[in-house]
């Protein structure tokens, strides 16, 4: 059974393996030593103060809502992001576009939405720091870091580009009977990250005033954050909110904050990894179309973003110019790959949220 302890330097919640007496933080590299419960207590220190009842000790800080180290946040709130691109290089699962997705998303956040470089945690196979390789444990630690110390006014973002999957659900909390999953680099040996865990880690702890966005470019990703409501939108732009709250009554929303997710496709669909004809660059179709919507000025409301993404994916191969903009100029050579042809990609980006809202009046902002 794992035990949660706080890093002695940055206070990030760490999962201590059974029997371990120390652990290194994946984020700040500090080593936290754990006192051996079998060791004898230190002798009492002499004091001129007369003995009396000890004052009550403050409770241990929560891994989610205690203040982070450093200066207090500014009045307008902080911005933090975890960007994860998994290419599964040299394996039979290799994807070509995920690293580009991660780089382009980082560029977008810094240049369009003023995310500080220091507040963006990148997990890719190109990272030289072994704790920033997108393994299951490192991804878990990154998600803990994302919500740690969040306060009203903060804006958080989780972007994932890689393989997604699904597995049979056995506790009855899924409408379709399946749990959706993300596949870390080492998923074949360490297992996948299930939607229940993602929800418990970055959705349920969100307090009032904190905003979380997730951009998930993966197969079977429609409800991978397990958010209670899904926006079912038709091709004409009309929509209804589907209630995905489990029959068990377990709450999958937040603790007062706001959580909204754009995903690459519905739970029973797959997402395309689209390669360039020039073999120079490739990208996930969903990530590309999300960035394109923002840069073309179609990101005013959540409805306009979703419609723009869906329209672009339907029109892939139909001669539409996908280039333009500070980020998408990196990808102007992008054309449809392989079996896609001219009939568009067989995927429909989805929008899920912790609460229903009017998608055509609610302004989109990160």
Q: Is the pLDDT of residue 45 over 70?
A: no
Q: Is the pLDDT of residue 218 over 80?
A: yes
More confident residue, 28 or 119: 119
pLDDT of residue 235: 87
Task: Outline where DSSP puts E strands in 126-238.
Answer: 155-161, 164-168, 178-182, 193-194, 211-217, 229-233
What is the pLDDT confidence band of residue 11, given thresholds at 50, 70 and 90? Answer: confident
**Mean pLDDT across the stretch 115-143?**
95
pLDDT of residue 34: 79
Q: Is the pLDDT of residue 199 over 70?
A: yes
d(CA 63, CA 6): 7
Short-list 328, 254, 330, 291, CA closest to 113: 291
Q: Which residues are CB-contacts of 111 (< 8 A; sequence separation ≥ 6)? A: 326, 327
Q: Are 350 and 231 in contact (CB under 8 A)?
A: yes
What is the pLDDT confidence band of residue 293, given thresholds at 50, 70 and 90? Answer: very high
Q: Which of 167-171, 207-211, 313-317 has the lowest mean pLDDT?
A: 167-171
What is the pLDDT confidence band of residue 304, given thresholds at 50, 70 and 90? Answer: very high
**349 backbone dihedrals φ, ψ, rounded to 5°:** -55, 145
d(CA 297, CA 243): 31
What is the pLDDT confidence band of residue 145, given thresholds at 50, 70 and 90? Answer: very high
Q: Which of 101-115, 119-133, 162-176 has the lowest mean pLDDT?
A: 162-176
Q: Which residues face 85 on adjacent strands?
A: 124, 161
pLDDT tens digits along 318-357: 444 443 333 333 333 332 333 323 334 466 888 999 999 9
Q: Report, as residue numbers or ranges, the catalytic residues.
A: 163, 219
Query: For all residues of the chain together, what is the average pLDDT?
Result: 77
């Amino acid at each position: 059974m794992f035990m949660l302890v706080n890093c002695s330097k940055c206070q990030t919640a760490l999962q201590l393996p059974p029997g371990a007496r120390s652990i290194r933080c994946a984020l700040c590299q500090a080593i936290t030593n754990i006192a051996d419960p079998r060791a004898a207590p230190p002798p009492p220190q002499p004091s001129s103060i007369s003995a009396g009842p000890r004052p009550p000790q403050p409770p241990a800080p929560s891994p989610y809502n205690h203040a982070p180290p450093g200066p207090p946040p500014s009045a307008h709130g902080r911005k933090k992001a975890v960007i994860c691109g998994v290419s599964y290089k040299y394996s039979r699962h290799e994807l070509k576009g995920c690293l580009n997705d991660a780089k382009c998303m980082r560029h977008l956040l810094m240049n369009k939405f003023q995310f500080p470089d220091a507040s963006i945690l990148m997990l890719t196979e190109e990272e030289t720091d072994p704790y920033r390789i997108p393994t299951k444990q490192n991804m878990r630690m990154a998600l803990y870091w994302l919500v740690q110390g969040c306060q009203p006014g903060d804006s958080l973002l989780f972007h994932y580009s890689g393989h997604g999957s699904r597995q049979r659900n056995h506790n009855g909390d899924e409408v379709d009977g399946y749990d959706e999953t993300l596949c870390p680099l080492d998923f074949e040996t360490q297992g996948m990250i299930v939607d229940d865990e993602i929800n418990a880690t970055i959705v349920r702890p969100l307090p009032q005033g904190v905003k979380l966005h997730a951009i998930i470019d993966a197969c079977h990703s429609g409800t991978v954050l397990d958010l209670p409501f899904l926006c079912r939108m038709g091709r004409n732009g009309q929509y209804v909110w589907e209630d995905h709250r489990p029959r068990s009554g377990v709450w999958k929303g937040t603790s007062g904050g706001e959580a909204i997710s754009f995903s690459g496709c519905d739970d029973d669909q797959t997402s395309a990894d689209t390669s360039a004809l020039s073999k120079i660059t490739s990208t996930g179709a969903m990530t590309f179309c999300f960035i394109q919507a923002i840069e073309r000025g179609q990101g005013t409301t959540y409805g306009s973003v979703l419609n723009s993404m869906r329209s672009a994916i339907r029109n892939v191969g139909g001669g539409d110019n996908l280039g333009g903009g500070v980020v998408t100029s990196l990808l102007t050579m992008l054309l449809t790959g392989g079996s896609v042809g001219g009939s568009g990609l067989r995927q429909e980006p989805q929008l899920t949220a912790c609460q229903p809202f009017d998608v055509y009046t609610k302004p989109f902002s990160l």
